[in-house]
Each structure stands twice: as structure tokens, then as C-alpha cells.
Amino acid sequence: MMKKKLAIFELTDCGGCALNILFLYERLFDLLEFYEIGEFHMASSAHEGGHYDVGIVTGTVSSHRDLELLKEARNRSDYLMALGTCATHGCLQASVEMPLKEKLKAIYGNEGNPMRALEPKPVVEYVAVDLAIPGCPYDKNELFQALMDIAKGIEPTTPDYPVCIECKLNEYECVLVKKGLPCLGPITLGGCNAVCIRSGLGCIGCRGPLPGEVNPAGEFEILRELGYGEDYIVRKFKTFARWEP
């Protein structure tokens, strides 16, 4: 069987999403039965160039260099995947609501921009992607299954339910109702197997808002009735996806 060519393109982020691919450990070798990796700076300095069957993009578009690399990734990839919440929703980098000039002045003392920085935005605001897998970090099992499906000619499926469904399936106690902890599980896209709730914490919303019919205003009111301040709730909503409650 002819192996598919795969490339991982890294934009501005903490590097965790690319590193998480290496944390597939022995399953990475399973993927290598189906893929030939031509570009992956986290693992190798090799740069084959050319065209790729599958391209994976991590990080936000935060500079002109990022934007140029993203357009190159789209043009050179038959199938493009946005991986991680930076790429799908903007994540922490895009949550700082201050004009770029003010950020530059606060950090460097002037509004000069020699690094050609841009306001951080997710990949999906610039190019069309064929698959978006959010998470900070994303679930490695979800990525592995998606790449295996693509290799076999199957279109990957994505979750369409909230994190609360995974709490029910795992029989976890509702930390919002039982403990009064701030939890965004009712309005956050599932797919993480409710990892925060398993640890006794509330969902922090790192997979971004659940698409479709969801009621963030209702969640806002519940948290306010539990005694959380409006500013705190707004910041919590906007941490990963710049949601307006």
C-alpha cells in the first residue's frame, strides 16, 4: 500500500500540540505504517517540501510568518487539519482583549512592530479546514483515530455533544450541581472524556463552545446564582474561545 505523505506545520503556540503527537508513543509507529512524515520540526529538521496528502496545523496566526506558512500549508495539502484550541478557536493567545499597538507599547515601550506581529486568530478564520480537533491539549486518541480513518479513506467523525454526556457515561458526580464549582461542561464540546471532572474540577471549556443550539446565557445565570461575579464568569467564558456570555 502506498503511504500517504504527512506534514505538521507549527504556528505560534506553546509547542504542546506538536509535542503531544510524539506522546502517542508506540501508536506513532502504527501511524508510520500508513504515513511518511515529510515535515515535523518538533521531531526532525528534515524538510522535504512538495505536496502532502495530509497537513496538520497547530497554533494561532500571530505574525505574517504564521499567515504565510498557513497559506502554504493549505495550498500544499489535500486534507488540512486544525489541531488544538489555538488553531480552532484562538485559545489563550487570542483571549487577551487589548489592541496590538497597546500590547507592543506595554511590553516594548513603543508601538513599533519589527516582528510583523498580528492580532492572534485561529487558523479557521483564514483558511478552510477539512477537520478541526480542539483541546488544550487535545485528546491523543481522537487524533490517532482521525489519522487512521483518513489513511483508510474514511471521513473522521467528530463529537456533537457536550462534556456533560461524558460525565453521565462515566457516572461522575456533577460538580456544578453537587459542589457548586464553576463548570462549563453543559456548553462545551465533548471529546475529552470529561478529564477535568474526573479530577474533581469543573470543565474549563478548553475544547470551545458546543456548536448549534446551546444556551450560554443560561449557564451565565446559573454561575451568577452560585455567587460567582460577572467579571469572573466573563473571563472564564473567554479564556479559550473569546465567547460572549
Q: What is the pLDDT of residue 243?
A: 66
Give the C-alpha separation, 45 to 37, whole Å. 12
The residues of the chain scoring below 50 in pLDDT are none
Distances (CA, A) of 44 to 39, 79, 128: 8, 22, 27
Return the pLDDT at 244: 57
Q: Which domains does the chain have, with CATH numbers?
A: 4-151 (3.40.50.700), 163-241 (no CATH)
pLDDT number for residue 107: 83
What was the pLDDT predicted at 112?
A: 80
Cis omega (within 30 of 0) for bond into 245:
no
User: If DSSP states are collapsed to H, E and C, what string results for 71-92?
Assistant: HHHHHHEEEEEEECHHHHHCHH
The span from the CA of 110 to the CA of 227, in Å, is 41
Which pLDDT value is given to residue 111? 78
Element (H, E) at 111: none
